[in-house]
């Protein structure tokens, strides 16, 4: 979805550092996407607790993100090609999870006040959407990114030094065998390698060969810098990892 985009990266003394996608901190982040599991879960909890508001607004897709100064909730209703953006200021002493709860409570209270006044749900929803910033964009640009991830133990790729892009090779078996031979030559005990490590390489090779007979992938939709809501699942999904070309 278009709107107020932000990058989840800051630069400190020439070093590229992530900002936490749940609270925004860059302290001791390195290349991590979240400062802690607990921080991520707190924001997810607040988002999931307010899905009733999204249902009331006949939401098809929604996205939530924040900057240092504001929160943004983008909503795409089923009966519209417009994005409706609710923008609220950040609190100085609160994290985005708490700020989102405050924002959602205000929106929810406004919806219920109008519902009580008119006794019509659709009028309450229309009134609330009129308070949002409307963005006119093409329907095809609303489709979230789809991430395709191989359903296989990631360690197998690491032991064989294989990149995910190589798993789409038309000669997958040969690609796996070549990677195995290269690592076996380097780490075989007869060549002075560690026996335990070589066993892990061989196990990774066997797992990859089995997977290659029937490749399966996990697919999910989302945005790299926004939390994403899909009404069909009625739940929020954390931002998807940014896909980059692996370094071989």
Structure tokens at 9: 């990266």
Is residue 224 over pLDDT 90? no
Tell me the β-bridge partners of 235: 230
Is 220 a residue whose pLDDT tops 70?
no
Report the pLDDT value the prediction gives residue 144, as an integer from 0 to 100. Answer: 65
pLDDT at residue 177 tops 90: yes
pLDDT bucket at 215, cuts 50 / 70 / 90: confident
> Does residue 48 sit within a domain?
yes
One domain for residues 113 and 54: yes
Helix (H, G, I), strand (E, B) or coil at 199: helix
What pLDDT is recorded for position 10? Answer: 45
* Count of domains observed in the chain: 2
pLDDT of 103 higher than 50: yes
Q: Which two tokens stand for residue 171?
A: 């000669």
Within a domain: 141: yes
Helix extents (H) in the chain = 37-49, 51-56, 96-118, 121-130, 154-160, 172-187, 195-213
Residue 92: pLDDT band (50, 70, 90) is: confident
Q: 3-state DSSP: the chain helix, strand, coil percent, rounded to 5?
A: 45, 25, 35
- For the ranges 120-129, 163-172, 199-208, which has the lowest average pLDDT? 163-172
**What would the mean pLDDT of 40-66 be, rounded to a whole number?**
93
**Range of the structural domain that residue 117 is part of:** 43-145+223-237
The Cα 43–Cα 98 span in angstroms is 8
Q: Assign residue 170 the CATH number of its domain.
A: 1.10.287
At residue 246, the pLDDT reads: 38
CA distance 64 to 62: 7
* Predicted pLDDT of residue 3: 40
Q: How far is it, in rounded angstroms, from Cα 2 to Cα 205?
A: 43
pLDDT at 49 over 80: yes
Pair (47, 129) in one structural domain:
yes
Per-residue confidence band for 88, with pLDDT thresholds at 50, 70 and 90: very high
Residue 227 has pLDDT above 80, yes or no: yes
57 lies in the same domain as 166: no
Q: Does the pLDDT at position 155 exceed 90?
A: no
What is the C-alpha separation between 20 and 9, in angstroms, rounded?
Answer: 9
- CA–CA gap between residue 18 and residue 33 (Å, rounded): 6
pLDDT band at 137; cut points 50, 70, 90 = low
Residue 243 lies in a domain: no
What residues does 17 pair with on adjacent strands? 10
Please state, in angstroms and as integers, the Cα–Cα distance from residue 76 to each residue in 2, 220, 245, following that order: 11, 19, 32
Q: Which of 107-116, 184-193, 194-203, 237-246 has the lowest mean pLDDT?
A: 237-246
Q: What angle do CA 200, 205, 211 make, to 5 degrees?
A: 125
In three-state secondary structure terms, 225 is coil
Tens of pLDDT along 68-82?
A: 999 999 999 998 888
**Scanning the structure block, which residue is given the tokens 């990266």?**
9
Say yes or no: 115 and 210 in one domain. no
Residue 122: inside a domain: yes
Burial classification of residue 200, based on how many CB atoms lie within 10 Å of its CB (0-12 exposed, 13-18 middle, 19 or more buried) = middle
For residues 172 and 200, membership in a common domain is answered with yes
Q: Are residues 67 and 175 in the same domain?
A: no
Whether residue 65 is found in the same domain as residue 136? yes
pLDDT of 57 strictly over 80: yes
For residue 23, is it within any domain? no
Rounded CA gap, 236 and 13, in Å?
A: 35
């Amino acid at each position: 979805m278009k709107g107020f985009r932000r990058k989840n990266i800051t630069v400190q003394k020439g070093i590229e550092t992530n900002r936490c996608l749940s609270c925004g901190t860059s302290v001791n982040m390195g290349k991590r996407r979240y400062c802690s599991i607990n921080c991520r879960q707190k924001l997810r909890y607040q988002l999931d607790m307010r899905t009733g508001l999204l249902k009331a607004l006949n939401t098809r897709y929604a996205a939530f993100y924040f900057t240092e100064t504001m929160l943004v909730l983008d909503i795409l209703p089923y009966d519209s090609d417009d994005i409706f953006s609710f923008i609220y200021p950040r609190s100085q002493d609160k994290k985005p999870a708490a700020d989102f709860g405050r924002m959602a409570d205000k929106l929810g209270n406004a919806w219920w006040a109008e519902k009580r006044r008119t006794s019509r749900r659709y009028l309450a929803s229309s009134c609330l959407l009129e308070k949002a910033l409307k963005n006119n964009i093409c329907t095809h640009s609303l489709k979230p990114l789809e991430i395709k991830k191989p359903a296989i133990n990631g360690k197998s790729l690491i032991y064989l030094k294989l990149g995910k892009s190589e798993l789409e090779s038309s000669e997958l078996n040969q690609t796996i065998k070549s990677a195995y031979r290269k690592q076996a030559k380097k780490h075989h005990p007869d060549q002075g390698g560690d026996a335990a490590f070589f066993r892990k390489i061989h196990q990774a090779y066997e797992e990859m060969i089995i997977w290659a007979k029937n490749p399966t992938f996990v697919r999910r939709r989302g945005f790299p810098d926004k939390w994403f809501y899909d009404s069909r699942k009625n739940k929020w999904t954390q931002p998807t990892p940014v896909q980059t070309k692996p370094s071989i």
